[in-house]
Amino acid sequence: MSFLMKRQPNQLYMATNQELIDKLIEKLELLFKKQAEFSSEINSLKEELYHLKSGSVEDNTVSTFEEIQPDESPVKDLKEVVELITEASESVDHETQPILETEYQAEEKIIADKKPKSKSSIEKFIGENLLNKIGIIITIIGVAIGAKYSIENDLISPLTRIILGYLTAIGLLGFGIKLKETYESYSAVLVSGAIVILYFITFFAYSFYDLIPQVFAFALMVVFTTFTVVAAISYNKQVIAHIGLVGAYAVPFLLSNGSGQVEVLFSYMAIINIGILIISFKKYWKSLYYSAFIFTWLIFASWFFFEYYEYEQFSLALSFLSIFFIIFYVTFLAYKMLKKEVFKTSDIVLLLLNSFFFYGFGFAILDNHETGTQLLGLFTLGNAVIHFIVSVLFYKMKLGDKNLFYLASAMVLVFITITIPVQLDGNWVTLLWVSEAALLFWLGRTKGITVYEKLSYPLMLLAFISLLQDWSFAYSAYYGLELEDKIPFIFNIHFLTSLLFVSAFGFIVWLYRKEDYPSAPQPTSIWHRLWSYGIPIIFVFTAYYAFRLEIEMYWDQLYHTTNLSIATQDNYKESIFNYDLRDFKTIWVLNYSLICVAVLSFINFKFIKNTLLEKIALGLTVVSIFVFLTQGLLALSDLRESYLNPSEYFAQSSFHLWIRYVCFAFLALALYTCYKFIKREGIAKGYKIGYDIILHVSIIWVLSSELIHWMDLSESTQSYKLGLSILWGVYSFLLIAFGIWKDKAYLRIGGMIFFGITLIKLFFYDIVHLNTISKTIVFVSLGVLLLIISFLYNKYKNQITDEVND
């Protein structure tokens, strides 16, 4: 019993293993079956491949299979199968291609036989398109010539002429409509020609012969315009709209009798524009919209510049100006909202031109009128209100592209910005352009609208040119002014315009430098480099000149208001001015220039940290220093001479003397900015040498001026001879000694050259006019200095030699 119990677990174990073995055997059998099926499929594929390779396309019989026995073993290499497929496909292609080509050519020949022989494209264009257009034009010209001949010779009465004209147009129109179904293009040309004739005849009957009243003439015009709209839409031909409507613009000018009834002309144009715009919007023919825009503003501009009378036609001009502006503005917005157009450069230009024409002509009309002059600010604000209403509608109703909302908002800000200056003065053009440029640049950069940014660049140039024109006029207008008409310093409209311009360009420069927003021009393009330099240059230049012009105007006004008429011995009147004021003007302009370049260098050093701007500021500083040494010191000398020899008409004060030390402070500030530059790390040695030269030239120049100044005050007569020679000799000695101490060869050489100049001055200028004592002092002083210099060279000759060798 116990034995059986011991064997039972082993039997169970063996039974479990047997079940596993049976299952594994079943799986192996399934795999063998699948392997056999897979081998069979592979053999079938090989059989077909060998058939294809042998070139048998049509014969798929069993005999071929018997001739070519495929390998029964499984395919061992996939590459073999791929090669077989490639070879077989090439074989089939070579055999079947001639057959396919033959079949295709035969089919093509059949189709060609069925199709009628077509005329050449040139013949088709001339016969079906060009000839009918030339024909209708010649027909219209012929009718016009015949009408002209009959009029000149009184062959038929005016009424008969008009009736025959209408009958001709109606006959041509009816014939064209009848041919519409069969010859649509030809019919469209006839219909458009008939419409042109109807326009001519109607205007002819009203303007030349007074056969129909004005109301009836315009009623006919409305009927013709309406019919043209229907016809153009029905034919779906732009030629009808162009010939029938755009051609109608020529009617008032060809048949004008000089009556000056401009209200009739503008009403006629408004009717034509409405018809053109309806068609252009209905059929999406934007060329009509552009044509109407160009013709309308050209005609209005021609009338305004040559025939406008402000006292008689003030209301008429404003009324039709507003009508034309509204027509084109509404049409433009309708395109963008209903057609959901994407903004293009041409669209932005068109909208800006429309607003500019309306504002520009409106401003000119009001400015030339006695009452209108007081409404310029209100008119500007009204423009802002119009664009504000449009922008609100876009925002509230979510109409159109978001770019349209940005543009309308930009126009609002532009007109609000210039409202106050416009009310005060006429610098509105500059402010309009610079404000528009800043806003378009802001929208282009921050909103990613590249079109706006590209449009802002030409506006920047226009604004800059306009500002230069404003300056040339405003700051020359004070000549000849009376005392009560003086322009206040700083607090005037011209300076306010300059500040607004500088503020706008400062904003543009700040935005240009921000790396958060990508630039429209590619960073590698020449335009990007051009604007990256040009915009900061314009900003710095205008900021500098805005204050400089005010300083110049202040002193110039003082100078011109000191005019005195003095009677001469010959009883003539002689004008005398306080010429010291011109010297003060020069001095303060130079002081202002010195502090400007110092401030520019400091701002760049602390905040901007631009290498190119640093070098530009350094160059401007050097130029300012040189101009001060040449012109500034000369002006200071003139003030000293004026103080020592006062005029009997104008008073002089001690300010003529101590103003020089204020100037020296500004000069020291400019030199200090150069010093800060050369003390930076990585500065080349050439810059340091250049700074030392500028420094020592400035010092000796100023010391020479001071020596002459004080010797003149002490009434010495040897300031330009004895005093300068000793000073230059001493400074040459100090320069050489300093060069030896600091191991700077260029300072020692410079000292020697300067000493040589002093000796030349001594022998060829000083010695001629000096007395014996003076000659003795000069020669002894210079001789001692030369001995000291020679001693220093001998004492430090090893150090000097080492430096040269190094």
- pLDDT at position 215 over 80: no
Interacting residues of 428 by C-beta distance below 8 A, sequence separation 6+: 363, 376, 380, 418, 421, 422
Domain co-membership, 140 together with 92: no
User: How confident is the model at residue 185, as a pLDDT?
Assistant: 73
Residue 413 CA to residue 408 CA, distance in Å, equals: 9
Mean per-residue pLDDT for 785-790? 70
Of the three residues 548, 565, 581, the one that is the final residue of a domain is: 548
- pLDDT at position 801 over 60: no
Helix or strand run (H / E) with residue 564? strand 564-567
User: How confident is the model at residue 567, as a pLDDT?
Assistant: 75
Q: What is the largest CA-CA distance in the chain?
A: 170
Please indicate, yes or no, if residue 606 is contained in any of the structural domains. Answer: no
Mean per-residue pLDDT for 476-486? 61
Q: Is 288 exposed, middle or buried (0-12, 13-18, 19+ CB in 10 A)?
A: buried
Residue 698 CA to residue 693 CA, distance in Å, equals: 8
- Judge contact between 513 and 436, C-beta under 8 A: no
- pLDDT at position 206 over 90: no
User: How confident is the model at residue 93, as a pLDDT?
Assistant: 45
Domain co-membership, 43 together with 182: no
Query: Helix or strand or coil: residue 236?
Result: coil
User: How confident is the model at residue 631, as a pLDDT?
Assistant: 94
Q: How confident is the model at residue 18 (pLDDT cuts 50, 70, 90)?
A: low
Max mean pLDDT range (42-46, 140-144, 637-641): 637-641
Of the three residues 492, 522, 548, the one that is the final residue of a domain is: 548
Residue 804 CA to residue 798 CA, distance in Å, equals: 10
Q: What is the 3-state secondary structure (H, E, C) of 68-95?
A: CCCCCCCCCCHHHHHHHHHHHHHHHHHH
Domain co-membership, 675 together with 754: yes
Task: Print the domain residue range for 78.
Answer: 2-111
Give me the amino acid identity at 6: K
- Judge contact between 751 and 736, C-beta under 8 A: yes
Q: Cα–Cα–Cα angle for 495, 498, 500, nearest 5°?
A: 110
Please indicate, yes or no, if residue 117 is contained in any of the structural domains. Answer: no
Residue 26 CA to residue 771 CA, distance in Å, equals: 140
Q: What torsion, rounded to 10 degrees, do the Cα atoms 703, 705, 708, 711 define? A: -60
Domain co-membership, 83 together with 144: no
Domain co-membership, 376 together with 470: yes
Please indicate, yes or no, if residue 563 is contained in any of the structural domains. Answer: no
- Judge contact between 277 and 327, C-beta under 8 A: yes
Residue 322 CA to residue 362 CA, distance in Å, equals: 9
Percent of the chain past pLDDT 70, that is, above it, reads 72
User: For residue 550, what are its two tokens?
Assistant: 């005010």
- Judge contact between 478 and 505, C-beta under 8 A: no
Residue 670's Cβ-side half-sphere holds a number of Cα atoms within 13 Å equal to 31
pLDDT tens across 532-550, in order?
Answer: 889 999 999 999 999 999 9
Domain co-membership, 498 together with 622: no
Across-strand partners of 423? none
Mean per-residue pLDDT for 71-85? 45
- In 3D space, the residue among 412, 409, 501 whose CA is nearest the CA of residue 459 turns out to be 501
- Judge contact between 559 and 578, C-beta under 8 A: yes
User: How confident is the model at residue 540, as a pLDDT?
Assistant: 94
Q: How confident is the model at residue 114 (pLDDT cuts 50, 70, 90)?
A: very low
Please indicate, yes or no, if residue 116 is contained in any of the structural domains. Answer: no
User: For residue 625, what are its two tokens?
Assistant: 């220093």
Max mean pLDDT range (144-158, 535-549, 559-573): 535-549
Q: How confident is the model at residue 268 (pLDDT cuts 50, 70, 90)?
A: confident
Judged by average pLDDT, the poorest of 47-61, 142-156, 744-758 is: 47-61
CA 227 to chain centre: 44
User: How confident is the model at residue 348, as a pLDDT?
Assistant: 73
Q: Cα–Cα–Cα angle for 370, 374, 377, nearest 5°?
A: 140
Mean per-residue pLDDT for 330-356? 74
Residue 469 CA to residue 679 CA, distance in Å, equals: 42
- pLDDT at position 47 over 50: yes
- Judge contact between 170 and 223, C-beta under 8 A: no
Looking up tokens 């409405």 gives 274
Dihedral pair phi/psi, residue 364, rounded to 5°: -65, -40
Q: How confident is the model at residue 476 (pLDDT cuts 50, 70, 90)?
A: confident
Please indicate, yes or no, if residue 413 is contained in any of the structural domains. Answer: yes
Mean per-residue pLDDT for 498-519? 88
Residue 62 CA to residue 716 CA, distance in Å, equals: 137
Domain co-membership, 699 together with 658: yes
User: For residue 6, what are its two tokens?
Assistant: 């011991």
Name the pTM for this structure: 0.56
| Signed CA dihedral, 318, 320, 324, 327: sign only | positive
Q: How confident is the model at residue 164 (pLDDT cuts 50, 70, 90)?
A: confident
User: How confident is the model at residue 253, as a pLDDT?
Assistant: 61
Domain co-membership, 103 together with 215: no
Q: How confident is the model at residue 68 (pLDDT cuts 50, 70, 90)?
A: very low
Domain co-membership, 470 together with 542: yes
- pLDDT at position 785 over 50: yes
Please indicate, yes or no, if residue 411 is contained in any of the structural domains. Answer: yes
Query: Helix or strand or coil: residue 50?
Result: helix
Dihedral pair phi/psi, residue 656, rounded to 5°: -65, -25
- Listing DSSP states for 105-160 in one string gives HHHHHHHHHHSPPPPPHHHHHIIIIIHHHHHHHHHHHHHHHHHHHHHHTT-S-HHH
Q: Cα–Cα–Cα angle for 751, 755, 758, nearest 5°?
A: 145
- pLDDT at position 286 over 70: yes
- In 3D space, the residue among 595, 490, 498, 497 whose CA is nearest the CA of residue 546 turns out to be 498
Interacting residues of 36 by C-beta distance below 8 A, sequence separation 6+: none
User: How confident is the model at residue 66, as a pLDDT?
Assistant: 41
User: How confident is the model at residue 1, as a pLDDT?
Assistant: 40
| Count: domains in the chain | 3
Residue 282 CA to residue 233 CA, distance in Å, equals: 8
Give me the amino acid identity at 290: Y
Residue 88 CA to residue 112 CA, distance in Å, equals: 36
Mean per-residue pLDDT for 39-60? 63
Average pLDDT of the chain to the nearest whole number: 76
Mean per-residue pLDDT for 307-334? 86
- In 3D space, the residue among 218, 329, 205 whose CA is nearest the CA of residue 267 turns out to be 218
User: How confident is the model at residue 190, as a pLDDT?
Assistant: 78
Residue 348 CA to residue 360 CA, distance in Å, equals: 18
Residue 553 CA to residue 479 CA, distance in Å, equals: 10
Of the three residues 516, 548, 580, the one that is the final residue of a domain is: 548
Q: How confident is the model at residue 96 (pLDDT cuts 50, 70, 90)?
A: very low
- pLDDT at position 522 over 60: yes
Q: How confident is the model at residue 401 (pLDDT cuts 50, 70, 90)?
A: low
List, as own/partner pairs, every contact residues 397-400 make where C-beta atoms lie below 8 angstroms and the sequence separation is at least 24, other chains included.
Answer: 399/337, 400/333, 400/336, 400/337, 400/340
How many residues can be counted in the chain? Answer: 806
Residue 188 CA to residue 195 CA, distance in Å, equals: 11
Q: How confident is the model at residue 51 (pLDDT cuts 50, 70, 90)?
A: low
Judged by average pLDDT, the poorest of 191-200, 369-378, 471-480, 509-518 is: 471-480
Domain co-membership, 179 together with 91: no
- Listing DSSP states for 666-735 in one string gives HHHHHHHHHHHHHTSTT--HHHHHHHHHHHHHHHHHHHHHHHHHHHHHTT-S-IIIIIHHHHHHHHHHHH
User: For residue 604, what are its two tokens?
Assistant: 């760049």
Max mean pLDDT range (151-160, 576-585, 673-682, 764-773): 576-585
Residue 130's Cβ-side half-sphere holds a number of Cα atoms within 13 Å equal to 7
- pLDDT at position 701 over 70: yes
Which is more confident, 483 or 320?
320
Mean per-residue pLDDT for 240-262? 62
Mean per-residue pLDDT for 491-502? 90
Q: What is the DSSP letter of 574?
A: E
- In 3D space, the residue among 796, 797, 765 whose CA is nearest the CA of residue 778 turns out to be 765
Domain co-membership, 143 together with 76: no
- Judge contact between 593 and 624, C-beta under 8 A: yes
Domain co-membership, 77 together with 143: no
Query: Helix or strand or coil: residue 575?
Result: strand
User: How confident is the model at residue 783, as a pLDDT?
Assistant: 74
Please indicate, yes or no, if residue 368 is contained in any of the structural domains. Answer: yes
Please indicate, yes or no, if residue 401 is contained in any of the structural domains. Answer: yes
First and final CA of the chain: distance in angstroms?
117
Mean per-residue pLDDT for 172-178? 85
Mean per-residue pLDDT for 149-172? 78
